[in-house]
């Protein structure tokens, strides 16, 4: 079932407000490596993202990590996606949880391509539903 259209700036009902812009900025900084600090121009860009775009970029981070074989980062990203789910809104969060947990098992078994295929499908559906990139 496709997600309902949301007004700009609203967190989709099946994701909690844990994926706010401030949290996304912190998480992206953690994933950049090095000093853990985002360059100023990138920080400003991240601060302007909608909650929908934050989820999309989180999927992108997973896909890059899968291509690099960065198991630790893939596990962290999946944990963030799971923690962002809001289970007060029906069946969709439960389905996403099952997909994310399956991806965690794939990563644990070093089947990165299998996990990336699922996340890529979610990313595509997400981008289409919210008219992103």
Chain segment 87-131, per-residue pLDDT in tens: 988 899 999 999 999 999 999 999 999 999 999 999 999 999 999
pTM above 0.95, yes or no: no
pLDDT above 80 (res 30):
no
7 is a domain residue? no
Asked whether the beta carbons of 67 and 76 are under 8 A apart, the reply is no
Q: Residue with structure tokens 């950049």? A: 32
What is the tens place of the pLDDT at every residue in 33-84? 545 566 777 777 777 788 888 899 999 999 999 999 999 999 999 999 999 8
Indicate if the pLDDT at residue 19 is higher than 80: no
Number of structural domains in the chain: 1
Q: Look at residue 3 and tell me if it is in a domain.
A: no
Predicted pLDDT at 29: 60
Which phi and psi (to 5°) does residue 85 adopt? Answer: -70, 140
Which pLDDT score is estimated for 107?
98
Residue 11 is predicted with a pLDDT of 44
**Residues 6 or more apart from 78 whose CB is under 8 A from it?**
62, 100, 103, 104, 107
Residue span of the structural domain in which 63 resides: 17-129
CATH number of the domain to which 56 belongs: 1.20.120
């Amino acid at each position: 079932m496709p997600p309902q259209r949301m007004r700009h700036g609203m967190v989709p009902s099946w994701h909690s407000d844990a994926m706010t812009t401030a949290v996304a900025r912190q998480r992206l900084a953690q994933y950049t490596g090095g000093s853990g600090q985002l360059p100023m121009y990138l920080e400003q860009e991240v601060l302007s993202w909608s909650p929908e775009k934050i989820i999309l970029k989180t999927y992108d981070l997973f896909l890059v990590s899968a291509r690099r074989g960065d198991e630790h980062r893939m596990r962290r990203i999946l944990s963030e996606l799971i923690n962002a789910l809001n289970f007060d809104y029906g069946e969709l969060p439960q389905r996403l949880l099952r997909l994310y947990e399956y991806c965690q098992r794939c990563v644990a078994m070093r089947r990165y391509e299998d996990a990336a295929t699922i996340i890529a499908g979610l990313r595509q559906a997400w981008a289409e539903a919210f008219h992103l990139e």
